[in-house]
Amino acid sequence: MPYGHQWIDQEDVRAVVKILRSEWLTQGPLVEEFENAVAKYCGARYALAVSSGTAALHVAYFAAGIQKGDEVIMSPLTFAATANTAVFLGAKPVFADIKEDTLNIDPAEAEKRITKKTKVIMAVDFAGRPCEYKELSRIARKHKLVLMADAAHSLGATYKGKKVGQLADITTLSFHPVKAITTGEGGMVLTNNRKFAEKARRFRNHGIERKPGKRGWYYEIAEPGLNYRITDIQCALGLSQLKKLNGFLRRRRELARQYRGLLKGVKGLILPTVAREAQSAWHLYPVQIAKGAARRKEVFDKLRQQGIGVQVHYMPLHLHPFYKRKFGYKRGDFPNAERYYDRALSIPLFPAMTNLQQKHVVQALINLL
């Protein structure tokens, strides 16, 4: 039993086969159709589909004008791509600690780290729970910064009644198989800013810009870009998956409610909090083993031995050798993120998970604790 898994049905298979038998495998009409469908679902004006969630982050940072010497404030509790892509553009990731209840970036800690070099605040919606966008937006406007959202975990989530995708200046999504919907690999950039959208579109396609009135073969490159295009094959799967997204979300939320009911009151276990102002997409169900790293390792190993695919999300980025060596980060810099990591355990949660499987996970965990 994995911690997460895709849901693929015959409708998805038929959609992909139809494209495989068509004239367009890539750079065809389904790419724009998928972009428009996701933009409409999220309430964003512009959407740009790309080859992966990592590509989406790279494109978004570029569109925001990130360059050498800039600083990007972000949570250390995130996947490596959130920081790696900023580093590739020459920027410094400036980490700000998380709040212990939300596991998201603490807006007050983020504001403390703003300098003359700061260009972006990156909000990471950890485990599917949206960040505190009202406060982060206020801080970004006050300091004239771009507010970005790494919403790889939170497609379909809402904050104060608004869907993720319209809460930040630029939002990125991931369509990896364990995410809310999948295109195999794939990602998307969402924005309401026309200039950001145009710059992102050029960067995705080698930096190519076609001029109105010029012959069909003629194009110009004002600044270099990369090939981050997605295929029509992937978009066919994405469109089919998008039809099922609300059903996937309902099941994830149902499983999260059931976990809370089944595990509430278990000694030695800390459950994720439920937000009043936000509705989580529940990409993960992250519990904490109260006694710390040694006990967590024991529980992790024994659950894995029983075939239960638990995982740990994530080792904080400032503890990785590269970020310690390059930027001087060390253990002790962000105590909330470190304390969470030492106790963290993601237990299985995915739409195809049955109630019987869930009860098996719960009983195994209770027996160990």
The rounded distance, in Å, linking the Cα atoms of 329 and 37 is 41
pLDDT, tens only, 177-205: 999 999 999 999 999 999 999 999 999 99
Ranges 53-57, 210-214, 342-346: which has the least confidence:
210-214
For residue 9, give both structure tokens: 């049905």
Question: DSSP class of residue 126?
Answer: G
Q: Answer whether residue 213 shows pLDDT above 80.
A: no
As to burial, measured by CB atoms within 10 angstroms (0-12 exposed, 13-18 middle, 19+ buried), residue 87 is middle
pLDDT, tens only, 133-181: 999 999 999 999 999 999 999 999 999 999 999 999 999 999 999 999 9
Q: Answer whether residue 215 shows pLDDT above 80.
A: no
Query: Average pLDDT of the chain?
Result: 97
Q: Answer whether residue 60 shows pLDDT above 80.
A: yes
Predicted local confidence at residue 11, as pLDDT:
98
**Amino acid, single-letter form, for residue 66:** I
Per cent of the chain over pLDDT 70 is: 100
Question: DSSP class of residue 52?
Answer: -
Predicted local confidence at residue 212, as pLDDT:
81
pLDDT, tens only, 343-354: 999 999 999 999
**Amino acid, single-letter form, for residue 334:** F
Residue 146 · residue 175 · CB < 8 Å: no
Ranges 17-21, 141-145, 273-277: which has the least confidence:
273-277
Domains of the chain (ranges, CATH numbers): 10-242 (3.40.640.10), 245-368 (3.90.1150.10)
pLDDT, tens only, 310-327: 999 999 999 999 999 999
The residue-averaged pLDDT of 228-252 equals: 98
Q: Answer whether residue 336 shows pLDDT above 80.
A: yes
Query: Is residue 67 very low, low, confident or very high in pLDDT (cuts 50, 70, 90)?
Result: very high
pTM of the model: 0.97
What are the backbone angles phi and psi of residue 326, rounded to the nearest 5°? -75, -40
3-state percent breakdown (helix, strand, coil) of the chain, nearest 5: 40, 15, 40
Predicted local confidence at residue 75, as pLDDT:
98
Predicted local confidence at residue 59, as pLDDT:
98
DSSP per-residue string spanning 302-351: HHHHTT---B-----GGGSHHHHHHH---TTSSHHHHHHHHHEEEEP--T
The rounded distance, in Å, linking the Cα atoms of 38 and 41 is 5
The rounded distance, in Å, linking the Cα atoms of 6 and 312 is 19
Predicted local confidence at residue 47, as pLDDT:
98
For residue 92, give both structure tokens: 């410094």
b/e burial code for range 136-151 (CB count within 10 A of at least 16 → b): bbebbeeeebbbbbbb
Q: Answer whether residue 214 shows pLDDT above 80.
A: no
From the list 162, 106, 111, 154, the residue with the least C-alpha distance to 130 is: 154
Sequence-ordered strand ranges (E) for the chain = 46-50, 71-74, 92-95, 118-124, 146-150, 158-159, 162-163, 170-174, 187-191, 208-209, 220-221, 269-270, 278-279, 285-289, 344-347
